Amino acid sequence: MDKLILGRFVPGDTWIHHMDPRSKILISFYFIAIIFLANNVASYALMIAFTLGVIFLSGVDQKFFFRGVRPLFFLILITVLFQLFLTRGGHVYWQFGPFALSQYGIISSVYVFLRFMMIILMSTLLTLTTAPLMIADGIEALLNPLKKLHLPIDQLALMISLALRFVPTLMDETMAIMNAQRARGVDFGDGGLMKRVKAMVPVLIPLFVNTFSRAGDLAIAMESRGYNGETERTRYRVLQWHRVDTGAIIVMIVLTAALIFARN
Amino acid sequence: MAITFKNVDYFYNMGTPMATAGLKDISLTIPDNSYTAIIGHTGSGKSTLLQHLNALLKPSSGEVQIDSRVITAETNNKNLKSLRKKVGIVFQFAEHQLFEETVGKDIAFGPMNFGASQAEALEIAREMLTTVGLDEKYFDVSPFDLSGGQMRRVAIAGVLALKPDILVLDEPTAGLDPKSRQAMMDLFLELHEKRGLSIILVTHQMDDVADFAEHVFILEQGQLIKSGTPQEIFNDYQFMLDHGLGLPKATQFALQMRQQGFKVPTLPLKESELVDLITKQLTETEQ
């Protein structure tokens, strides 16, 4: 369970930590979009340098980033292998049936690998340096214009904050239930796939039951404190756009220009 | 069957910057056929200690000996299952572990994991259901239709069904009404006295410690700060109060009597002892 890095916030005191969640979210998405503009060694080198630079600026231990990559290792591996053996073009080094090891295949698999790594590292950076509630606030603020379309953004944001709030609770509870079932003789890491899936049933059922009852209690607690989704809510944490955010946007514009210059 | 801790340390999040000590240099022995209480504040390491009792956690350093098995940091995770049959743990809010369609099947879950046939397991389940004081009519009822107290009993029956030699109870009466509390504590005493089970009780109720325990361990911030019989522990009442642990009601009462000038030669722990003390005082004043 400790491996799940999503929402694992590491407090710190750097520029990146102090940025407004809105700008951080926007920049993360923007960066993921412009990665696809990179198409040669120079442009990839530029993007890698940028990624490593912001990771360094965040002051977060690299170990946390590796841990963010680990759960997606197989996804990356399989995608890279597909690229490597199914792409054709240029000099062919080896061939067997539909599989071939070609010059383009090697190049594109390296690019896919780098793209994957950068996307994961940047989104990990976002969750490592931004408290989950701040992310929720940021998303809410960014979605705010959709209120004009009568979408229930406030409720949506509340749902996101509640969901984030209960992630650690659920993890603790999962551990507690797993321990209780282990004490009754369940071996979670043992046997074939079917057996392992079956071993999760005694964990998932109590987890669902408890979650539903907790949700019911929470709803009652909120209503008894006068919660009403319709009214306009004031907020405790007011998002503030700082100079560092404007600076970050400018950096992104410069990066885009440099990228367009570097690509062919 | 005894359990011995030798210089046990345990760290959470080993090998990360967030490593924190759960247990620090714990050495203790829980003898065979004993009734032991473990007390301490929330976060004092009680639950961490419990999980070492059946090797759910392994010590980061030092060793835990359970019966003849020695568990160290290097012990392989395989083949620990037999220990879990010998040491049954009832966790806090044990009712949260129920999952089967019927009460009977849920209690039978443990024995079946240890290789009992379905018929055997259901047989044991039926026996355990009555052992924990529930009517047999609940056997085919969904556990989710029971009250919280009844669910707790079913969960305890589920652990008893393993037929453990040692029963570990983590605040088994938390959140129960006084009557169920009493019934449950009586049940544990009966299991200890009639069936020879060792009981290890984690509790905040000093009255339960005074009434039932033969030996007490006190934990604070992962360290064992005191151990002894209840009488030894509560005689040092200043220590207990300094560490915010409280005293049994009878002891509190007797201490107030002492303040008012009554003679209290030995501190009573149980209600009956307090009654004796007061009767003695009354008869003496009459003379």
- For residue B255 the two structure tokens come to 């201490």
Mean pLDDT by 10 residues, chain B (287 residues): 92 73 92 94 90 92 91 85 91 92 95 93 94 93 92 95 94 89 93 94 93 94 93 93 92 92 88 91 77
Distance (Å, whole) CA B53 – CA B201: 12
- A 142-181 residues with CB < 8 A to B: 173, 176-177, 179-181
Q: Of A180, A190, A201, which has the smallest distance from its Cβ to B94's Cβ?
A: A180
Task: Please check whether residue A138 lies inside any domain of the structure.
Answer: no
A141 occurs within a structural domain:
no
Asked if the Cβ–Cβ distance from B97 to A173 is below 8 Å, we say no
State residue B18's pLDDT score: 65
Structure tokens at B242: 């300094």
Please state the φ and ψ torsions of residue B195, each to the nearest 5 degrees.
-105, 0
Tokens of A233: 């809510």
For residue B157, the one-letter residue type is: A
Q: Check residues A89 and A21 and name the one with the higher pLDDT.
A: A21
In whole angstroms, give the CA distance from residue A143 to residue A145.
6
Q: Is the pLDDT of residue A6 over 60?
A: no
Chain B CB within 8 Å of residue A232 CB? no
Residues of A in contact with B13 (CB under 8 A): 2
> Which chain B residues are Cβ-neighbours of A184 within 8 angstroms?
84, 97, 109-110, 113, 158-159, 162
Query: Does residue A209 sit at the B interface (CB-CB below 8 Å)?
Result: yes
Q: Are A91 and A193 members of one domain?
A: no
Domain assignment present for A231: no
Identify any residues that bridge with A102 across adjacent strands, giving them in sequence order: A92
Give the C-alpha distances (Å, rounded to integers) separating B11 from A173, B8, B23, B62.
20, 10, 7, 12
Task: Determine, yes or no, domain membership for A233.
Answer: no
> In what side-by-side order are the strands of the sheet with B69-71?
B20-30, B3-12, B61-66, B69-71
A164 close to A137: Cβ distance less than 8 angstroms = no
Of B17, B84, B92, the CB nearest to A183: B84
Residue A4: the pLDDT is: 47
Residue with tokens 């009466």: B173
Number of domains making up chain A = 2
Are residues A22 and A120 part of one domain? Answer: yes
Closest by CA position to A37, among listed A122, A126, A115, A107: A115
Nearest residue of A to residue B47, measured between CA atoms: A176
Supply the mean pLDDT for chain A. 87
Q: What is the pLDDT of residue A3?
A: 41
User: Are residues A246 and A184 part of one domain?
Assistant: no
Instruction: List beta partners, residue B71.
Output: B64
What are the chain B neighbours of A1 within 8 Å (beta carbons)? none
Half-sphere exposure in the Cβ direction for A59 (13 Å, CA): 9
Q: What is the per-residue pLDDT across A118-174, written as a single tens digit (0 to 9) for each? A: 999 998 899 889 887 888 889 888 988 888 888 888 888 888 888 878 888 898 899
CB under 8 A, 24+ apart: contacts of B184-190: B184/B152, B184/B153, B184/B156, B185/B211, B185/B212, B187/B131, B187/B132, B187/B133, B187/B156, B188/B212, B189/B35
Mark whether A113 and A182 lie in a shared domain. Answer: no
Asked whether the predicted pLDDT for residue A233 surpasses 80, the reply is no
Residue for token pair 């642990």 = B245
Between A217-226, A230-239, B137-146, B204-213, the lowest mean confidence (pLDDT) is in A230-239
Contact across the interface for A185 and B84, Cβ inside 8 Å: yes
Task: Extract the runs of DSSP E, i.e. beta strands, from chain A.
Answer: 92-96, 99-102
Residues 6+ apart with CB under 8 A from A47: A35, A38, A114, A118, A259
pTM greater than 0.80? no
d(C-alpha B198, C-alpha B227), whole Å: 18
Write down the pLDDT at residue A10.
80
- The half-sphere exposure of A129 on its side-chain side, counting CA atoms within 13 A, is 30
- Mean pLDDT across A55-75: 85
Check residue B287 and give its pLDDT. 63
CA distance A264 to chain B (A): 43
User: Which of A65, A170, A184, A207 would best serve as a mutation to test chain B binding (most B beta carbons within 10 A)?
Assistant: A184
Are A123 and A199 contained in the same domain? no
State the residue range of the domain holding A188.
152-224
The dihedral over CA atoms of B105, B111, B117, B119, expressed in degrees to the nearest 10, equals -50
Q: Does some domain include residue A55?
A: yes
Does B50 contact chain A (CB < 8 Å)?
no
Split at pLDDT 50, 70, 90, the class of A1 is: very low
CB-CB contact of B51 with B116 (8 Å): no
Residue B225: phi and psi, rounded to 5, are: -100, -15
Same domain, A31 and A94: yes
Separation between Cα atoms, residue A136 and residue A126, nearest integer Å? 12
Residues A219, A245 within the same domain: no
